[in-house]
Amino acid sequence: MKLRALVWLVLLCVPFLLAMGTGDSEGPTRIPEPSADFRVRLTDQEGTRVVLTHFSIEGQVFVLGRMGHGQVAVPLEKVKEVEITNQGDALKARIVLSQGPPVEIRVKPTLTATGKTDFGNYRIPLGEVSRIEVLGRGR
């Protein structure tokens, strides 16, 4: 009788244990759904390029960083491209705007960029990105 109760207990727990998963090792099965659909060409530090739709950084459709002692959020609709270079524990992002002079800000390397490809969801820490080209808004 005790063995039967133990078997049922284990069987009841299996779905919950399987649902827990192993975190990041499973890949980006779910990504944030941004408020607007931006299409970008992202290049990582190794030179690998990928075209993404529904692009966002931490689920937001702007580039957030520090300028001096303040914070700035540059909307993707104003961005033509972002060039990212490593500066120790921070990243320098040179943002080329659609209109006006470029803007330089510091961004956190741990922020995550996400999007959708033709073959699946994609995510990458900004510290692994070298360039983001905004190709336009989706349909």
Tokens of residue 27, six digits: 């890949």
Average pLDDT, integer, range 79-102: 93
The number of angstroms, rounded, from the C-alpha of 13 to the middle of its chain's C-alpha atoms is 33
Taking only the tens place, the pLDDT of each residue in 26-50 is 566 788 999 999 999 999 999 999 9
Q: Is the pTM of this model over 0.95?
A: no
- Distance between start and end Cα atoms, the chain: 62
User: Which residues is 96 bridged to in the sheet?
Assistant: 81
**Count of CB atoms within 10 A of residue 63's CB?**
24
In order of 79, 96, 98, 105, the CA distances from 93 in angstroms are 12, 9, 16, 5
